[in-house]
Structures are given as C-alpha cells and as structure tokens.
Copies of this chain bind each other. A is one copy, B any other.
C-alpha cells in the first residue's frame, strides 16, 4: 500500500498573509460572494492566481458543502453503447455545475461494490450505476446513505432509486418474433457467457421464447470472449458447430454481428442466402455498410439525456418518474432473407 508524500502547496493562509488580509477575505474574494470591496477582491484574485493557489476540495467538502460530484460506473470501455449513453449525459451534468467521474467494472459485481464503497467515501451528490443487478450490500449502502442513485440501460420494478433504460427481454422477444416470422427456425446466439452480462441473458431469453412459440429449436448459445467486439463476434461465430448449422445467428451487438458476418463469409457462407445475421443496438457502424445489418435500435443517447435530466430533477428536490422505459425499434436491414 504505497503512500506518496504530500507536497507543499500554497494554502489560503499563504495568500492571506501575502495579501495582508484575513483568510476570510480571501475565501470570499475567490468564491465571488458579497461582502468584499471590488478593489480588494480583484487584488486578491490576481494574487491567488499568481501564487498558483488551488483550493482544497477536501477541506471544502468537509466544511459542509457538498462535493457536487457524480460518479458513473459502467462495465467496459469496449462496448460502443456506453460512450453513446454517457456522451449527452456528462454534458448535462457539466452545464449544471456538477463534475462527473467514470469508472469501469468489467461486469464484475464485486468490483462495482468496491468502486461504490470508495466513491461514497467522497460524499458525492449522486451515483449512477449500469444495469439493475447489483450486490445486495451495494443496494443497502446506497439506501442507507440516501445518495440519489440512477440506474441506466436496464429497468426494473424495484429500482434502488430511479432508473431509465430499455426492456432487454422484450427487445429480444420482439426481435426474435420478427425473425421467426421470416421462416427461420434454427437460431444460434453469440453473446457474453451466461451469467456475466444480465442484459445479454435477458435478450437471449426473449429470443428463445420467440422461437419456442413458433416451434423452432432452442437457440444454441455461444460465448464470446472479452475485448474488441469485432473479434469477439468473429471468434464466437467460429465456435458454432456448423455440422448442424443454424439458419440465423443473433449477436449481442451490431459490431459483433459484423465480425461474425465476416467469419461466416470466410467460411464460405453467403449472407443472407445461406445464413441470416442479426445484431442489436443499431450502432452507427451499420449506416456505412453496403448491406445494413438487421437489428434492433436502442435509444442510447436518449437514455443518457433522460437519465441525466431525471437525476438533476431528483437533486433539485423534484420527484422524477422512478421508472422510465424507453422504446426500441426494429430495423429490417438486409442480412436476413426478405419476407
């Protein structure tokens, strides 16, 4: 447990001494509150800047003010959905005067718990978690600390506080039905290992139900391995047993679907004549492809914006909806055969 030596820094005291005023005058000047003559204020502000004075957030937080800090935890940087969700969200917090910090958990609930413990120790204004499956201790601690909490990307009837997301099972179900309606009956599913990513499991369940309903086979599930999603998709496809070939392969994301499609073509299969390829999320990649991927869009930017607004409302004492479920939309694409 290393411990770096703390460095000499100029404190508000130093500035006060150098300016020949009391420390409170410096404090007031720097914060721009009333009660200081314009002359001394500008003098002190200049002096502080010149002395490279940086106020201590720890002391400020300790003296009673809130840290105006929002923590965001998400599973991984390697999934294109999270940048989309975070993009608009962080800008909104910025403009509202909050600063937000991010951390990743690698889909590990214990890492998420550890992060939350560390982060709560800074007395933040709010906490944002990805998904609604968390360790029980995390729920307890969040509830106990009464810190406003936003769960994004997934929804539940029993959020810790408020949640904004999509119904992944319903999304998988609708997607599965659309594909089954085209006559496909032997699906495979390439995604995260069962139990790792709850959203992957839910979508799988939805797809499975759709094919069960039409008398198709249960989808073969193939686990991709972590890292770049194109590679995961391609490797996942390679792990499908082609001796009893599926007629359509669902992928966890469009990027994985693209990787899988490349692997399929390398294996001599034509898309969609020999095999159908289906993605999820409606990622921007598919807009540049000559053959757009059949997929289900998820309103990622919308989730980020709505989540941010609801959380801000919560912070301002207004009560936003506890549960906000946003719609997905089917995109026909052309990587499955036409009706």
Contact = CB atoms under 8 A, between A and B. Distances in A.
Contact of A9 (B6, B123, B287): B123
Interface stretch (A16-24, A48-56, A172-180, A202-210): A48-56
A57 interface: yes
A261 to B, nearest CB: 9
A315 interface: yes
Interface stretch (A141-149, A154-162, A163-171, A324-332): A141-149
Contact of A316 (B2, B56, B61): B2
Copies, count: 2
A265 B288 CA distance: 11
Contacts of A259: 288
Interface string A71-106: 000000110101100110010000011111111100
A262 B287 CA distance: 10
A59 interface: yes
B58 A141 contact: no
B228 A121 contact: no
A125 interface: yes
Interface in A205-245: 227-228, 230-231, 233-234
B288 A121 contact: no
Contacts of A263: 288
Which of A54, A96, A283 counts the most B-chain CB atoms under 10 A from its CB?
Answer: A54
Contacts of A87: 77-78
B118 A99 contact: yes
B123 A56 contact: yes
Interface stretch (A39-47, A62-70, A182-190): A62-70
A55 B117 CA distance: 9
A98 B148 CA distance: 26
Contacts of A148: 4
A284 to B, nearest CB: 4
Contacts of A96: 2
A338 interface: no
Interface string A116-131: 0110111101100000
B9 A122 contact: no
Contacts of A146: 7-8
Contact of A90 (B2, B104, B140): B104
